[in-house]
Amino acid sequence: MALAFDEFGRPFIIIKEQEQKTRLRGLDAQKANISSGKAVARILRTSLGPKGMDKMLQSPDGDVTITNDGATILEQMDVDNQIAKLMVELSRSQDYEIGDGTTGVVVLAGGLLEQAERLLERGIHPIRVAEGYEMASRIAVENLERISEKFDFGLSNIEPLVQTCMTTLSSKIVNRCKRSLAEIAVKAVLAVADLERKDVNLELIKVEGKVGGKLEDAELIYGIVVDKDMSHPQMPKKIEDAKIAILTCPFEPPKPKTKHKVDIDTVEKFQTLRVQEQKYFDDMVQKCKDVGATLVICQWGFDDEANHLLMHRNLPAVRWVGGVELELIAIATGGRIVPRFQELTPEKLGKAGLVREKSFGTTKDRMLYIEHCANSRAVTIFVRGGNKMIVEETKRSVHDALCVARNIIRNNSIVYGGGSAEISCSIAVEAAADRYPGVEQYAIRAFADALDSIPMALAENSGLQPIETLSAVKSQQIKENNFYYGIDCNDVGTNDMREQNVFETLIGKQQQILLATQVVKMILKIDDVISPTDY
């Protein structure tokens, strides 16, 4: 083991307390890593595609999450194994970068690992395998570029965008009303998109959910919805043409940050202090009133007296609004966030056409709608659903759809879905493999096989014969030299993904292949695993 000797022949210890550590080396290490990577991929495999199943996750606190979003499943899974953690990271980075395809990327990585295992058994050096994969991934990405199509859309023609979002949503539980949700997502993205720069700031889209009602009640609000109500029950519930003062200072007596004491030792001092205090509240409210605000939104709380003064001066106010929401309100209404009362000026006020309070259900559940804002660049998607889990899952699904719409606006190339892109890449990689001399050829071929694992999983989940279906589609693609034949998951009767309107974004697919290859390369390069044994 890890024993070394110095020049006097005395052994010295390289790893601290090495007897207590388990250690795997060489092929064993690689195989163990591969099999744990595969185990993670196996969990997600059944969630792929429109007929994919969901997973139910119970958190340490007993909360239940039901989802088929790869990133969410892995995140909540309480994974201990190091390699499994890498896979979790993989799915997360796909989520951050693209937002969709988080399941696919893990399944692909699983496929690559499985193929690599076979090559290792044949005695091919892991680095050669990794290099072969690298080459193959380049071929595949180029092929994707080749088969991609440009999408024309504009503000008037949102149909292609809607179709793409529908492809994403069709694998989720919300696929019952995917049409309406896809439209909402696309409209939301277009509302905040900067088409000139081809950029979308998803932070401007807020997804709010509330249990109750049904999925169909989801709506897009051109404005902000805040889960708060007016600070005083008797303030008006509806304000038109509101001028909003957005404050981050509390309506409370001042609290200097330095440590101090105010000593009261005479009656006069007591009285001055009292007068001072009253004046302070009065001043605060007066300042807001002076600049012409008709609504105050504050990040902090109000003192009872201040609250009444606000009410008294007919100045509705909302308290305890979170920082993120405050920013959104500031963006939407074109106002500035004001940290001190002294700095309030009329220019810093935000403007909104309509602010109203809306109540839900039979309990005291109210939300504040801020609509018709000066700057309509912030929107809210408001999701309803029969129970908490549905609402959460819908929020995640809408997030995926938003990401997809954003990706298309950034880069309007698409590829066809339903596994057709993977099959086409697999054919291209397979064909290219023969041109490479050396051991890498095998690795490249293995890569092509791994690409097949995605359409294979799709077919499996849809209850089709995986091998039969895949080979039929593959031969069809080669015969007709068409790259839009995929797996007919919904049993529509045609393999033509163009007819079925199943699209995915080009960058999403490219990213999947690149990320999966990278992680697999990393795993293959590990030949020594040192882990502390259980204490």
Q: Which residues are catalytic?
A: 69, 102-103, 400
273 sits near another protein (criterion: CB under 8 A): yes
Question: Are 117 and 83 spatial neighbours (Cβ–Cβ below 8 Å)?
Answer: no
Residue 230: beta bridge partners?
A: 318
Of the pair 55, 521, the CB lying nearest another protein is at 55
Burial class of residue 482, CB neighbours in 10 A (0-12, 13-18, 19+): middle
CA 356 – CA 318 distance, rounded (Å): 12
DSSP-derived pairing of the beta strands 337-338 and 528-532: unpaired
* Site track 12-51 with another protein (rule: CB under 8 A), x = hit: ------------x---x--xx--xx--xx--x--x----x
Question: Are 405 and 385 spatial neighbours (Cβ–Cβ below 8 Å)?
Answer: no
Of the pair 174, 207, the CB lying nearest another protein is at 174
Among residue numbers 164 through 223, which ones bind another protein (CB under 8 A)?
173, 176, 211-215
Among residue numbers 232 through 271, which ones bind another protein (CB under 8 A)?
232-234, 252-256, 259-267, 270-271
What per-residue string of b and e applies to 401-437 under the rule 16 or more CB within 10 Å gives b?
Answer: bbbbbbbbbebbbbbbbbbbbbbbbbbbbbebbeebe
Question: Are 218 and 373 spatial neighbours (Cβ–Cβ below 8 Å)?
Answer: no
Residues 6+ apart with CB under 8 A from 263: 269
481 sits near another protein (criterion: CB under 8 A): no
Residue from 5, 6, 12, 62 in contact with another protein (CB under 8 A): 62
Residue from 312, 340, 358, 525 in contact with another protein (CB under 8 A): 312
CA 147 – CA 477 distance, rounded (Å): 12
Interface with another protein by CB under 8 A: which range of 97-105, 228-236, 342-350, 395-403?
Answer: 228-236
Retrieve residue 21's tokens. 């550590």
Question: Are 381 and 185 spatial neighbours (Cβ–Cβ below 8 Å)?
Answer: yes
Size of the residue set binding another protein (CB under 8 A): 88
Of the pair 14, 64, the CB lying nearest another protein is at 64
Min separation Cβ 90 and another protein, Å: 14
369 sits near another protein (criterion: CB under 8 A): no
Min separation Cβ 388 and another protein, Å: 5
* Site track 450-469 with another protein (rule: CB under 8 A), x = hit: -------------x------
- Mark out the alpha helices in 101-177 (DSSP H runs): 102-121, 126-147, 159-169
Residue from 5, 7, 9, 60 in contact with another protein (CB under 8 A): 60
Of the pair 13, 53, the CB lying nearest another protein is at 53
Residue whose pair of structure tokens reads 């064993």 in the numeric block: 28
Of the pair 7, 265, the CB lying nearest another protein is at 265
Q: Which of 189, 171, 325 is nearest to 246 (CA)?
A: 325
156 sits near another protein (criterion: CB under 8 A): no
Question: Are 232 and 295 spatial neighbours (Cβ–Cβ below 8 Å)?
Answer: no
Interface with another protein by CB under 8 A: which range of 15-23, 180-188, 201-209, 309-317?
Answer: 309-317
Of the pair 150, 261, the CB lying nearest another protein is at 261
Among residue numbers 385 through 424, which ones bind another protein (CB under 8 A)?
385-390, 393
449 sits near another protein (criterion: CB under 8 A): no
CA 129 – CA 488 distance, rounded (Å): 33
Min separation Cβ 24 and another protein, Å: 8
305 sits near another protein (criterion: CB under 8 A): yes
* Site track 78-97 with another protein (rule: CB under 8 A), x = hit: xxxx--x-------------
Retrieve residue 274's tokens. 């009292």
Residue 38's CB: how many other CB atoms inside 10 A?
19
